[in-house]
Structures are given as structure tokens and as C-alpha cells.
Amino acid sequence: MFSLNKQAFINATVVSIITIALVFYGSRELQNFDPALIAYLFGTVFAFFGVVYRYSVWLQRPPTRMYYKRTWELIWNRQFFSHLWFFIKEFVQNIGFQKFIYPRGRSRWIGHFLMAAGCTLAFAITFPLTFGWIHFTLNPESGLDPGTVKLYEAHFFGFKMMEFEVGSFMAFMIFHALNWSSWMVIIGVLIFMRRRLTQPGLISTQSFEGDLLPLVLLLAISVTGLGLTYSYQFMKGFAYDFMAVTHAITVIMFLIWIPFGKFFHIIQRPAQLGAHIYKREGMRRGMAVCLHTGKEFATQMHIDDLKDVTKELGFDFTLEDGTSHLDLSPEGKRSRLAMAHLKARQENGGKLFG
Amino acid sequence: MPVTNYSTNQEFFVDMQRCIGCKACEMACAECETNGHESMIHVNYVDRAVTIQTTVQVCMHCDDPACANVCPADAISKDEFGVVHTANTSRCIGCSNCVMACPFGVPKKNEAYDLMMKCNMCYDRTSAGKKPMCATVCPTQALFYGTRAEMAMMRPNSTPVNNFIFGNENVSTKVNIMMPKGSTVLRVD
């Protein structure tokens, strides 16, 4: 049964209020806010609320809390800058380029990279647009003079950031940026749909709402988004209203669903960088040696933390001699199990039994 | 999960004393579609200095899996049949908590993938009413997948045990280990 998590609720409410305040002031007291996007704004604020709520609940689980605690310790660590540099490098490689997916398959990497890059680009454009932080105006001087090339100005938080010629290549790229992201997402989604509809291993373990619906939703968002441009450019506005409404519905569904479904991994998965830094710091402090194999197998910090976490979760692997079963490497554990089996056989006469 | 033909009257039985170290199971495991063609089974020498005895280890599919409990990312789940599934690829953060917490030493961390992987009882096969790959190829039936009645008939002097003691911890599992007749628990300490 659902019970409200107070701390998570407070965190989510604070972030939502800050977001709304930033929308108010970032759009210069709503002067630059586009009321046509109000539904998207509600969806985005809800998504922020939900993401922060779930993340806060997530951080309270014993294993996650341990990593969270260690993260703060690292911030006050002498190695902070070394870890920060490592984090930046890893962020570019693993979040930017998703290096870790490439060994799993080239088409898988291409598909995921296109989806991730397309979504990131779309987020980077639509969130500030929805919040009224970005808006475009016609340069008044060039606009009044029929003899000059018209200039467009891009404003961020009400400050002029850049200007470009209307009809220029730059304008074409900027005004169609969401179309480029749509194409990236569509290609990525099709690659992943093919995998999910043809690979027996995936078919046997996937679920419609967990794995296929997110792809369908991304496809619907991208196709209707593209349709908006292509409707007025090539189809004389045919089905524009339908596309606009469907696009809004699918995008808002997507936003509202981020905290609950598969899309939450966009928020959660970067924690892998933290896991890498944890391992790096642990290696610096010293490795644990398996009591059975006599070989290093993990960082001592990891094993010690895991002993605490397992106890907190109700598991007690403490052995009679005061050591822990967790002091064994995976190979050591398998061997100890087999030796225990042999011992049981010996105690039963020592013969093979059938 | 989609609709399955998972057979609830068939169980997995491991008889370590029968393992001859042929590694046929390793090859067969790599045929499993749910592993992405990576072998997940473990065949290792118990104590190579003093014996040539090998042992085989599949995931024991614990009733209360330590791996899933210690996972900070909720990446490991147990289904309605008691099968503990390998890490959800989109959630696993590659922290290795599960690798180090599993009392049976089963999960593997694939460093290149930055992902934990483990046996999920050939779910592509068992969910279609078939036997896991390893159990179909094991020449000595150290790995057997079938009914309890079949096992009782084949091994009258053995008892399947699915309770294990690791120090202060009692672990019960879906997979059985064959023990001398009358045994109820395997104590590891």
C-alpha cells in the first residue's frame, strides 16, 4: 500500500516550487512565457516532482544510502579533484558516448546513442522553451528596413545571446533542431524495436508496459513532432491540429511517466559513475584478500560496507570464527560450498551416494 | 512478463559429486538467449592443490535473494515462479554489490558491459516448457531438471536439499543440491 514518504515529499515540493519560481523570473515575470505551452509546463513540473520524489525514496534504501553517504565523504576527501577529473572523463565517455554499450553490440550502441542523443537534444531545447527562458525576436532595426537582411535574435533569461540571418543555414539548423532530434530518436527506436521483436531472449523476459510501450511512446512523440513541421511545409497544413494535439498528449504522457517507468533510468543510470569512483577510491585504500583463494577480489571498503548493508537488510553472514562469509571471493564461496558438501558426504560414510 | 508455459512441477537438482569437469554445461549455457550468449555457469576446481574434483554452480534462485536486496538500483527481480532474473540492463549501475553479497558466488560482473549478469534458469527455454541448456547436456546428470518423483526414482540414496546455513544466516532456495539421504540442510562455515 502506498504511504507518503515525508522527506521525499518535502524535497519534491521544494524542487517544484524552485522550478516554478525560476519559470516566473527566468521568463521575466512571464513576459516571455508562451501560454500555448502551459500544458507542457504542468507536465514538466509534475515530472520534476515525481523524479525528485522517487530519487529521494531511492536514496533512503540501505544500499543506495551507503553509496550516497560515501559520495559526500569523497567531496571532503583530498582526492576530490582527482575524482572530479575522473568523473568528467567518465561522464563524456559513458553518459555522452555510452561507451559501455558498444561491447554489447554495435547496432545496439548506435540505436541507444541515437535515442539518448535525440532525447537529450530535445530536452535541452524544449525545457528552456517551455519555461520561457529562451525566446526569439526579430531584430527591430533590420525588421523595419526593407532593404536589409532580416536578423533574428535568440534570448536566454531575457538576455540577448546571439543573432543570425533569417533564412540562413544557421537559422535552418536551429529552427529544425527538434526535427533532427526526432529523426535520431526514430532511427534508434526502430533499431531497438527490431531487437525486441526478433530476439528470443528479449521476447521471453520483456513486458509490454516496461519495454515496448516506452519505444512506442518515443516513436509517437517523434513522428507527430516531425508531422507538425512537414504538415505546414509539405502538406498545406493537413492534419496539423491532430498532430499538435497528439504530440502534446504523448509528450505529456512521457513527462508524467518518467518517474515511474523505464525512463527513470535516464535519471538513475548515471549513478554508475559514482560506482566507478567508489571502486577507484576503494582501490586506493586497499584491497580485500579472499580467505579461501588468497587473492585480491574486491576493495576492502566495499566488503566492509556490504557487511553493514546486509546486516541492515536482515542478513547476517558472520561465521563462528568471527569472520564473515562475505570475506570470501565468489570463487572462494563456491569452493567452500563444495567443500561443505564433501564434508557432509564424509560424515555420512564417505562413499559416493546415488 | 509475457504469458508463459513455465512448468511448476519441474525443479533443478545439482549433484556436485557427479561433476566431471567436462564443461559441456559452459558451452551449452552460452547458447542461452537470455544471457546474450555469455556463459553464466561456473565450473571450478574445489581445491586444485589436493584434488581434481570439480564442482558446478548455477544460480540457486534464493527465496529471499541477497543479490536483489543489496542492489541499489532495483535491477534484480524475482518473478511469480521464484526465478531470480539477471540484472535489468537499463537499471544496473555495475556496482558489484550482488556479486559480493551472493552467498553462492554466482553473479558475474562483465566489466566491458559495466553490467552484472547471472543465470536466470534459461528463462527463454523454461518459460516455454523446456529444460535449461546446461541440464540438457550434462553427461553425468550432475545437473538435472525434472520432477521430484523422477529424482527420487533415479537417486534412492539421495535427498534434495534447499536449505543452507552460512554462519548465522539461513538461506532457502528454489534449486536443490543432492545430499546423502536424510539430510535436511547443508552447513557452510
Rounded Cα gap, residues B60 and B64, in angstroms: 11
Query: What does each C-alpha distance from A101 to A154, A210, B5 come to in angstroms?
Result: 36, 20, 32
Per-chain mean pLDDT for chain A: 93
Beta carbons within 10 angstroms of residue A99's beta carbon? 16
Q: Which of A279, A339, A345 sits opposite B180 (nearest CB)?
A: A345
Rounded Cα gap, residues B80 and A243, in angstroms: 41
Instruction: Kindly determine whether residue A265 and residue B91, on different chains, have CB atoms separated by under 8 Å.
Output: yes
* Predicted local distance difference test score (pLDDT) of residue A3: 87
What ipTM goes with this model? 0.94
Instruction: Kindly determine whether residue A324 and residue B167, on different chains, have CB atoms separated by under 8 Å.
Output: yes
* Predicted local distance difference test score (pLDDT) of residue A147: 79
Written as one string, the DSSP assignment of chain B is: -------TT-EEEE-GGG-----HHHHHHTT-GGGTS----EEEES-TTT---EEEE----BSS-HHHHH-TT----B-TTS-BPPPPTTT-----HHHHH-TT---EEETTTTEEE-----HHHHTTTPPPHHHHH-TT-SEEEE-HHHHHHH-TTEEEEEEEEETTEEEEEEEEEEEETT---EEE-
CA distance from start to end of chain A: 48
Burial (0-12, 13-18, 19+ Cβ within 10 Å), A87: middle
Per-chain mean pLDDT for chain B: 92
Strand partners, A135: A155
Q: Which of A208, A313, A333 would best serve as a mutation to test chain B binding (most B beta carbons within 10 A)?
A: A333
- Whole-number percent of chain B with pLDDT over 90: 83
Q: Which of A306, A328, A338 sits opposite B46 (nearest CB)?
A: A338
Give me the residue spans of the domains in chain B: 11-188
* Predicted local distance difference test score (pLDDT) of residue B48: 65
Strand partners, B108: B117
The x, y and z cell numbers of residue B34, run together, are 537470455
Three-state secondary structure of chain A: CCCCCHHHHHHHHHHHHHHHHHHHHHCCCCCCCCHHHHHHHHHHHHHHHHHHHHHHHHHCCHHHHHHHHHHHHHHCCCCHHHHHHHHHHHHHHHHHCCHHHHHHCHHHHHHHHHHHHHHHHHHHHHHHHHCCCEEEEECHHHHHCCCCCCEEEEEECCEEEEEEECCCHHHHHHHCHHHHHHHHHHHHHHHHHHHHHHCHHHHHHCCHHHHHHHHHHHHHHHHHHHHHHHHHHHCCCCCHHHHHHHHHHHHHHHHHHCCCCHHHHHHHCCHHHHHHHHHHHHHHHCEEECCCCCCEEEEHHHHHHHHHHHHHCCCCCECCCCCEHHHCCHHHHHHHHHHHHHHHHHHCCCCCCC
- Whole-number percent of chain A with pLDDT over 90: 82
Beta carbons within 10 angstroms of residue A230's beta carbon? 15
Average pLDDT over residues A8-22: 97
Q: Which of A271, A320, A348 sits opposite B167 (nearest CB)?
A: A320
Burial (0-12, 13-18, 19+ Cβ within 10 Å), A237: exposed
Q: What's the fold here for domain B11-188?
A: Alpha-Beta Plaits (3.30.70)
Kindly tell me if the per-residue pLDDT of B1 is higher than 60.
Answer: no
Kindly tell me if the per-residue pLDDT of B2 is higher than 60.
Answer: no
Instruction: Kindly determine whether residue B44 and residue A262, on different chains, have CB atoms separated by under 8 Å.
Output: no
Q: How far is CA A170 from the centre of its chain?
A: 30
The x, y and z cell numbers of residue B23, run together, are 564443461
Strands A159-165 and A134-138: unpaired
Give me the residue spans of the domains in chain A: 6-272, 286-347
Longest Cα separation, chain B: 49
Rounded Cα gap, residues B62 and B74, in angstroms: 16
Q: Which of B90, B177, B178, B179 would best serve as a mutation to test chain A binding (most A beta carbons within 10 A)?
A: B90
- Interchain CB contacts (distance < 8 Å): A and B: 201
* Sole residue written with cell 518473478: B79
Kindly tell me if the per-residue pLDDT of A142 is higher than 90.
Answer: no
Task: Give the chain B residue nearest A318 (alpha carbons).
Answer: B167
* Predicted local distance difference test score (pLDDT) of residue A224: 95
pLDDT in tens, B83-138: 999 999 999 999 999 999 999 999 999 999 999 999 999 999 999 999 999 999 99
For residue A208, which of B33, B125, B2 has the smallest C-alpha distance? B2
- Chain B contact set for A354 (CB, 8 A): 155-158
Kindly tell me if the per-residue pLDDT of B173 is higher than 80.
Answer: yes
When pLDDT is cut at 50, 70 and 90, the band that residue B3 belongs to is low
Chain B: nearest CA to A248, how far in angstroms? Answer: 26
Radius of gyration for the alpha carbons in chain B, expressed in angstroms and rounded: 16
Q: Which of B60, B70, B178 would best serve as a mutation to test chain A binding (most A beta carbons within 10 A)?
A: B70
Q: Which of B32, B85, B94 sits opposite A272 (nearest CB)?
A: B94
Kindly tell me if the per-residue pLDDT of A257 is higher than 60.
Answer: yes
When pLDDT is cut at 50, 70 and 90, the band that residue A139 belongs to is confident
Average pLDDT over residues A269-273: 93
* Predicted local distance difference test score (pLDDT) of residue B47: 73
pLDDT in tens, A150-182: 889 999 998 999 999 988 999 999 999 999 999
Q: Which of A61, A330, A339 sits opposite B72 (nearest CB)?
A: A61
pLDDT in tens, A47-91: 999 999 999 999 999 999 999 999 888 888 888 999 999 999 999
Instruction: Kindly determine whether residue B93 and residue A325, on different chains, have CB atoms separated by under 8 Å.
Output: no
Rounded Cα gap, residues B45 and B27, in angstroms: 17
Kindly tell me if the per-residue pLDDT of B49 is higher than 70.
Answer: no
The x, y and z cell numbers of residue A239, run together, are 492534419
Phi and psi (nearest 5°) for A162? -160, 165
Rounded Cα gap, residues A341 and A242, in angstroms: 68
Phi and psi (nearest 5°) for B89? -60, -30
Kindly tell me if the per-residue pLDDT of A328 is higher than 90.
Answer: yes
Instruction: Kindly determine whether residue B69 and residue A354, on different chains, have CB atoms separated by under 8 Å.
Output: no
